Each structure stands twice: as structure tokens, then as C-alpha cells.
């Protein structure tokens, strides 16, 4: 356990033991989600807490928490996505927010390709077909194929580039849509998502959440994707208008979807669950022991580096790295 004069931090929600144990060795940790009276705990520790370890999910780190912790300096968040943290507000207050990029890039990219294959070739459905004894009565119907498909990636960041690199190995043409053209990228760039959807038959979304991407994959985009279209989403569920997607699947406006993320996790719409021609995963893109331990380590390392006076390792763009 940490000494009594170690820096004090708040843990907003459960973290894997690999990270939580290290935090408790180096810091005085207050486990906010365990408090019988959350506000009372915050009042008690307000003048001592200088850091937050944020586990993601539904534990919001926003202005209300910043107000409650006036000595706060840094929020170290678990995950490459950090839409559960109001980073813009943190930046306005001179606070640092860090995330855990890079260490999960390959794992999520692998999962994206696996989910694409599972959706195109209906692998979960084929597995169920065999287990239910239906093969004894006849072969499984023919599926669609990756052959002759073209892919548009929504959000060509670290993970998007890793997905594109893997798609090249399958011989698939790749295009991308994002806020701006990337000078060092050879793939075709589309400033309009609708135009890209009209020119490809497969969309893979790796876009982060937030106001700027909310429901950018909407009914118009899905209509442009067309009846042979497949949507794969491993970014954030809020990027897709879920109601529009359900209608597009029901009406056969598009062919299928493979989803690892949803708008209101862990609640998945019953209409999606009822569909047998989609593949649904419970947000497991980075969920391997190896990768989650690497993510947890980076969360810890950001806090340790900050309090050792070395600055944050992976600050997000919205927050400044200020002199100490």
C-alpha cells in the first residue's frame, strides 16, 4: 500500500486488478463508486485529490467532478476513446487528460477484420446451423463474399490505418472519410461520407464518439451504401443512428451489419437481437488479457509520470501540457 504522504487520486469506477493494484501501491486511492455517499466522500477529500483514474464506461468525468475536486491536475483514462471525459472543459481549466492509444491498435484492428469476415460469411449463423443438427438435413445456404468488395473506412486514425493495412492483404480497395485529407495516405479520400458510401459496398467505422460524429452514419448514408452494403462498427455506437440502421436492416436497404458497439451499452435493442442476419458482439474490440493489461499499464504510467514531474505520456489534443 502507498504511504500516507503519497499523492491522492480518485478511481471513478472499477479497473482490472493489474492496474488497480499498482495504483494502490503508488497512490492513496479513493474508490468513488464504492462510497455510500458519493458527495460526502468528495467533500471530505476535495482539498487533497490531485488525480483521477477513469475506467471509462458510464462513469462521467465532467465539470461537476472538476468542481468537486479543486486541486485536480490530471485525469488518466482507460481506453483510446475518452468521450466519457469532458476533455474540452478540462482543457479550459488547465487540466490534463490522457488516454491509452497505440497499445490496443492491433487488437481492435484484428477484431474489425474478424467481425467483417464473420458478417460476410455468416460465421456465427453457420456455427449455430451445425450445432442445431441442421447440416444432417442439408448444406448451409451460400453466403456473400469479400471478393469484389470495396471498403470505406470512417475515421482513418491509428486503428483505421491498421484496419486498412489488413484489408490490403485481402486485395480489397480502400477509401476513407474523415475531417480532412491526410497528406501521407495513398487511399482515396472522400470529404463527403454519403459520396463514399455510394461508391463502396462496405463501411467500417472506427470513428470516435462525441458531438462531431454523432449519428453521422444515418439513413441517407445507409441508403447510399445500398442493398449489397455491409456496415461494421468497432468505434463508438453513437456514430451510427441505431434506429435508422434497424430500419435499413429490416427493409433490406442494406444487406447486413457487424456491430461491436452500441448507442446505449450494454443495452442492445431487441430488434437487433431478433435479427439473424447480423453479427453482434459485446464491445470486445480490445478485450484480450494482453491488450487490457497494456492499457492498464499506460493508465498507471501516465499518473506516475505526471506526479514524478515528467509530464503526461499520452495527453489528448484538447488538453494543454503546461509547465509545472
Interaxial angle between packed helices 105-120 and 123-131, expressed in degrees from 0 to 180 and rounded to the nearest 10:
60
Which DSSP helix (H) or strand (E) runs through 25? helix 17-26
Number of residues assigned to the chain: 324
The CA distances from residue 22 to 29, 55, 254, 303, 322, in Å, are 10, 15, 47, 11, 26
All three cell numbers of 89: 472543459
Angle at 242 between CA 205 and CA 249, to 5 degrees: 90
Angle at 212 between CA 155 and CA 52, to 5 degrees: 90
**Of the residues 236, 242, 263, 292, which is catalytic?**
236
Longest distance between any two alpha carbons in the chain, whole Å? 72
User: What is the residue whose three cell numbers read 498507471?
Assistant: 300
- 265 assigned to active site: yes
Q: 288-310 burial, b if ≥16 CB within 10 A, otherwise e?
A: eeebbebbbebbbbbbbbbbeee
Output the DSSP codes for 149-199: --EEEE--SHHHHHHHHHHHHTT--EEEE-SS--TT--SEEES-HHHHHHH
**Of the residues 50, 188, 283, 293, which is catalytic?**
283
CA 177 – CA 214 distance, rounded (Å): 15
- 283 assigned to active site: yes
Q: 270: helix, coil or strand?
A: helix
- 277 assigned to active site: no
Angle at 97 between CA 185 and CA 267, to 5 degrees: 80
**Of the residues 31, 89, 265, 318, which is catalytic?**
265
CA 38 – CA 32 distance, rounded (Å): 6
**Residues with catalytic roles:** 236, 265, 283
Amino acid at each position: 500500500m502507498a504511504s500516507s504522504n503519497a499523492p491522492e487520486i480518485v478511481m471513478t469506477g472499477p479497473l482490472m486488478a493489474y492496474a488497480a493494484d499498482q495504483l494502490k501501491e503508488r497512490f492513496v486511492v479513493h474508490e468513488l463508486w464504492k462510497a455510500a455517499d458519493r458527495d460526502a466522500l468528495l467533500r471530505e477529500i476535495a482539498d487533497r485529490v490531485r488525480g483521477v483514474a477513469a475506467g471509462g464506461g458510464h462513469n462521467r468525468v465532467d465539470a461537476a467532478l472538476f468542481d468537486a475536486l479543486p486541486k485536480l491536475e490530471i485525469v488518466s483514462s482507460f481506453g483510446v476513446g475518452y468521450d466519457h471525459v469532458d476533455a474540452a472543459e478540462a482543457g479550459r481549466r488547465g487540466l490534463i487528460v490522457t488516454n491509452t492509444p497505440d497499445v490496443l491498435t492491433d487488437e481492435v484492428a484484428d477484431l474489425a477484420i474478424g467481425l467483417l469476415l464473420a458478417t460476410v460469411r455468416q460465421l456465427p449463423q453457420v456455427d449455430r446451423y451445425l450445432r442445431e443438427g441442421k447440416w444432417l438435413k442439408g448444406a448451409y445456404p451460400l453466403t456473400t463474399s469479400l471478393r469484389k468488395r470495396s471498403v470505406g473506412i470512417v475515421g482513418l486514425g491509428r486503428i483505421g490505418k491498421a484496419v486498412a493495412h489488413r484489408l490490403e492483404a485481402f486485395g480489397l480497395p480502400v477509401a476513407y472519410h474523415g475531417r480532412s485529407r491526410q497528406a501521407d495516405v495513398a487511399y482515396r479520400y472522400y470529404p463527403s461520407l454519403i459520396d463514399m458510401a455510394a461508391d463502396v459496398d462496405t463501411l467500417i467505422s472506427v470513428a470516435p464518439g462525441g458531438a462531431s460524429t454523432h449519428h453521422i452514419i444515418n439513413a441517407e448514408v445507409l441508403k447510399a451504401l445500398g442493398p449489397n452494403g455491409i456496415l461494421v462498427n468497432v468505434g463508438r455506437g453513437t456514430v451510427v443512428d441505431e434506429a435508422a440502421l434497424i430500419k435499413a436492416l429490416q427493409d433490406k436497404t442494406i444487406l447486413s451489419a457487424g456491430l461491436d458497439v452500441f448507442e446505449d451499452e450494454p443495452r442492445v435493442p431487441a430488434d437487433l437481437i431478433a435479427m439473424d442476419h447480423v453479427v453482434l458482439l459485446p464491445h470486445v474490440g480490445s478485450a484480450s488479457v494482453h491488450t487490457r493489461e497494456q492499457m492498464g499499464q499506460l493508465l498507471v504510467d501516465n499518473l506516475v509520470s505526471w506526479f514524478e514531474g515528467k509530464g503526461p505520456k499520452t495527453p489528448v489534443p484538447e488538453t494543454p501540457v503546461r509547465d509545472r
